[in-house]
Amino acid sequence: MKRFFLHAPAIILLTWFALVFISPFLALTPEVISLEHVLQPPNQTYWFGYDDLGRSVADRLISGAQTSLLVAFSVVMITLFIGTAVGVVSAWYGGWVDQLLMRITDVFLAFPGILLAIAMAGLLGPGISNVIIALSVVGWVGFARLARAQVLLLRERDHVMAANALGTSQSRVIWQHLLPLVAAPLIIEATFSVAGLIIAEAGLSFLGLGVQAPDASWGSMIRDGAQYLLIAPHLVIIPGIALFSIVMAINVLGDQLRDWLDIRT
């Protein structure tokens, strides 16, 4: 039983990835309306039932998994690159460069991230691309602060000082002596960020600022199903369980990854 719980997060994530990547080869109809199946509960034939428009909940659940994967990993790649660049440059060069970049970072930190994302999504309008932009605008700050803190610790190490003393170019010192050591904490931070971004995307879609119909999102599925909670609770429970399972699995794997990369253990 203990072994099962250790591997359960990996199984959940592998299932998520598998559904996303094989979905183009499946005969999915997430947008097809079937009036005879309106609000049909799960049964032996249709395991996940149908929604208020007679659309397959299973098909829309898989389509929503595609949306969450696209948004989460796109934003992580963008914010990881921007945040790492800002943090490394700020810590390495110091002086007025550090002061300027950190003051800009402080401005973004002054606002709650999700509220700033809501404001950005409201200004840009709904849609997957705008959700990615809105979440990227607020998501790089954590990577920047972490990268700066790591570089401030590492730039005084003997191997870095030796490389500088030997006349190694600054770009080479950064790429060969700093980034490899900064990578581990940044990877861990990126793992936890994926979970947060999945929730953020679902939250924006729940508020009507994210993915719009006929595209599916777990957040919009929960929003649309909330008004039928008493007569068709499966419309909320099923995407809710999917969202909870994925986020929990990513967080657990993030903890395991942090322990595995910790040189002290």
Which SS3 state, helix, strand or coil, does residue 86 take? helix
Buried b (16+ CB within 10 A) or exposed e, 111-147: eebeebbbebbeeeebebebbbbbbbbbbbbbbbbbb
Distance (Å, whole) CA 251 – CA 240: 17
What pLDDT sits at residue 215? 78
Residues with Cβ within 8 Å of 89's Cβ and at least 6 positions away in sequence, in order, are: 97, 101
What pLDDT sits at residue 81? 92
Q: What is the pLDDT of residues 167-220, one digit of tens each?
A: 667 777 777 777 778 888 888 888 888 988 999 888 888 888 877 777 788 888
What pLDDT sits at residue 3? 54
Given a cut of 50, the residues of the chain with pLDDT beneath it are: 4
Q: Nearest-5° angle of CA 233, CA 38, CA 65?
A: 60
Is residue 64 a contact partner of residue 221, using CB atoms and an 8 Å limit?
A: yes
Is residue 136 a contact partner of residue 108, using CB atoms and an 8 Å limit?
A: no
What pLDDT sits at residue 184? 82
Sorted by where each starts, the structural domains of the chain and their CATH numbers stand as 71-261 (1.10.3720.10)
User: φ and ψ at 94, to 5 degrees?
Assistant: 60, -160
User: φ and ψ at 50, to 5 degrees?
Assistant: -130, 160
Distances (CA, A) of 24 to 27, 29, 56, 66, 142: 8, 11, 16, 10, 35
What pLDDT sits at residue 178? 77
